[in-house]
A and B are shown apart, each in its own frame.
Chain A
Amino acid sequence: MLRITSRHWIFTFFWRPLCLLSVLLIAICFIITPVKANEIGLENKIKAAFLANFMLYVENREKDKDVRYLCLYDKEKFGKFIHQVVEEKNKKYNNLIVNISYISLDQPVDYCHAVFISSIDTQFINLKDFPKDILTIGEVPGFLLSGGMINFFIEDDSVYFAINLDVMNRRGVLLSSQLLKLARINKNNM
């Protein structure tokens, strides 16, 4: 029977190529990664953090103030990341619970405090059919003009948001003044 010990010629002869091969394999792995099933990209991560922040500011006279629902049509866009961000927020604010709720196009959204409509979902949704007191947030040019309330846009390599105050006032959505002072109000062509 072959007895393999550490003195065996295999180990003494092949260690240098083995060492080099290991380093190269690890390097190749690092080049092709990250291959993450739920990698959503920095832009979406920032938008997810904005959405979690918005939930602190949005209020509705007729809905529960302590439990707020952020409704999303698309599960993949923010993946698990938005749940982790919201979880962190919930830890920080003891008197407020933000829940993520996934909805479909044929589902009522009345219980939602805010709905995010991604660029893909926009084409299937008519904002004018939405219940009045829901904050609508989008990310495509023209979203505010078509009746949306907050719209994300990219400028100088950063993510900003614009607000359509007219629509918000007409539809009875209350937003904290803290949020309003950071937003671009009625930005052209948004």
Chain B
Amino acid sequence: MKTSMLRIYIVIIFYFLTPELYAHESPAELANLSNDELSKIKLSGHGHDVTESRWSISYRYRRSVFEGYRDGTKDIPLSQVLFDGNPANRTSSNFPIVPTKITQEAHIFNVGYRINELSAISVVVPYILQSTDHVSIIPGYSSFEISTEGVGDVVLLYERDMFQWENSLILAKVGVSFPTGSINKVGNTPRSSGNQQLPFTMQLGSGTFDLPLGINYYGQHKKWSWGAGANAKFRLERNSRNYHLGHTAGAVVWSGMQISAWLKPVFKIQYRFSDRIHGLDKELLVSQAFPFPASITNPRLFGGHKILASFGFDLSPQSGSLRNHSLGFRYAKPIYQNLNGPQVKEDGIISVSWNLDF
């Protein structure tokens, strides 16, 4: 059922994608054609060979830090989450091993191609580095760090202008996320000697084919620009370790003002929902009354609702040799978190991006 749905989804994407691969009709492309070349364009959209393409490459560095604990909307102290060693005090909400700080860094590479005036495709390849500091009551592991790195899940996206007016447009995105990121990362943990399967947070991918969807509105009037959008990511099936990450959904509103020819400050409010993890990775469990040695091994202690406020700016030179380059900087801070806890709460996100159109 799930696999057939994925097939249908991919067919839908490529059905609409394929005919347009031949229809180059952007103003820049046609403006660079001679009369002879213009006469060779077939109105049915085929047989048109243009030399200019609309490529873009971008790089984004993103660093997220998670620190401190929260259950629902209440902060809870580390001492409440760390099991004190007295069996009488052990509950499903305290653990012998407790992550204190999780740092996730991602180097995200994106190659995009504008098929025509209406649509574009892009491939997103993330390289992920993550580390987690822990404290525990296990002898020899009172404090330790685990880190992993590697390529994450590669995403193929197709975006298309759905509606366009004088100063605004609605753009939709659909795609497929491929399970290229590892879900079998191992490391030395207090669970037993040697290397063992690492918790969900230390894995690099989802292990599943996922369906990212999104719809965005962009508007502009004089120096002001604004937008709103909604997005979701659906996980189609359980991975080879018998779980799937939580489905996600989100909404965003933003506004920016071009205060000079090249500088635009941007303010954004973002809502994110993430479902808990479904399924269970049995290798993360211990054979005790309370089988989860750490909160990050319990699939129920993931997900929740978050609202983040972010501020940043875009730098886009309008002329000269850097005309096709743009830089962006953002800092986001959660202003509301309702987590399926106890869970490590998000502290902040910094991202820096660079984009080149050619």
Instruction: List A residues at the B interface (Cβ < 8 Å).
Output: 3-7, 11-12, 15, 18-20, 22-23, 26-27, 29-30, 33-39, 42-43, 45-46, 48-50, 52-53, 81, 84-89, 92, 154, 157-161, 179, 182
Q: Is the CB–CB distance between B172 and A29 below 8 Å?
A: yes
Measured between beta carbons, the chain A residues less than 8 angstroms from B246 are 6
**Does the CB pair A26–B172 fall under 8 Å?**
yes
Structural contact, B36 and A182, CB atoms closer than 8 A: yes
Nearest CB to that of A19 among chain B residues?
B234
**Chain A CB within 8 A of B338 CB:** yes
Q: What are 19 A-B pairs at a CB distance below 8 A?
A: A3-B72, A7-B276, A19-B247, A20-B5, A22-B234, A29-B162, A30-B160, A33-B118, A34-B118, A42-B41, A43-B43, A49-B38, A50-B35, A86-B31, A92-B32, A157-B43, A158-B41, A159-B38, A159-B39
Cβ–Cβ contact A46 & B304, under 8 A: no
Interchain CB contact under 8 A, B273 and A6 = yes
Contact mask B298-317 → A, CB, 8 Å, 1/0?
Answer: 00100111000000000000
Q: Kindly provide the distance from the CB of B255 to the nearest chain A CB, expressed in whole angstroms.
A: 23
For the complex, what is the distance from the CA of A15 to the CA of B211, rounded to whole Å?
13
Closest chain A residue to B44, Cβ basis = A157
Given contact pairs A33-B162, A159-B38, A15 touches B234 in the complex (Cβ within 8 A): yes
User: When the two chains form their complex, are residues A159 and B160 in contact, meaning their CB atoms are under 8 A apart?
Assistant: no
Q: Is the CB of A53 within 8 A of B34?
A: yes
With both beta carbons as reference points, the residue of chain A lying nearest to B168 in the complex is identified as: A37
Cα–Cα distance between A29 and B119 once the two chains are bound (Å): 14
* Residue from the set A11, A23, A159 with the largest chain B CB neighbour count within 10 Å: A23
Task: Identify the stretch in B20-28, B146-154, B200-208, B287-295 within 8 Å (CB) of chain A at 4 or more residues.
Answer: B20-28
Given A6-B276, A154-B43, do A33 and B163 touch, yes or no (CB 8 Å)? Answer: yes
The docked-state distance in angstroms from the alpha carbon of A160 to that of B41 is 10
Residues of A within 8 A of B236 (CB): 19
Specify the main secondary structure of chain A where it touches its partner.
helix
Residue of A45, A89, A160 with most partner-chain B CB within 10 A: A45
Q: Mark contacts of B37-52 with chain A using CB atoms, 8 A cut-off: 1 yes-contact digit, 0 otherwise.
A: 0111111110000000
18 new A-B contacts, CB < 8 A, other than A23-B8, A23-B174, A86-B31, are: A3-B72, A5-B72, A5-B304, A11-B275, A12-B278, A15-B234, A19-B5, A22-B213, A26-B174, A33-B162, A34-B160, A42-B45, A43-B43, A46-B38, A49-B30, A88-B27, A157-B42, A161-B35
Contacts of A179 in B (CB 8 A): 35
How far does the alpha carbon of A23 sit from the alpha carbon of B5 in the complex, in Å? 10
Residues of A near B16 (CB, < 8 A) are: 30
Residue of A nearest to B17 (CB): A30
Q: Could you say which of A7, A42, A52 contacts B300, with CB atoms under 8 Å apart?
A: A7
Q: B340 and A7: CB pair below 8 A?
A: yes
Choose from A27, A35, A52, A157 the contact partner of B12 (Cβ within 8 Å).
A27
Asked if B9 lies at the interface with its beta carbon under 8 angstroms from chain A, I say yes
- Shortest Cβ distance from residue B7 to the other chain A in the assembled complex, whole angstroms: 12
Contact A46 B165 (CB under 8 A): no
Contact with B25, one of A42, A53, A88 (Cβ below 8 angstroms): A42
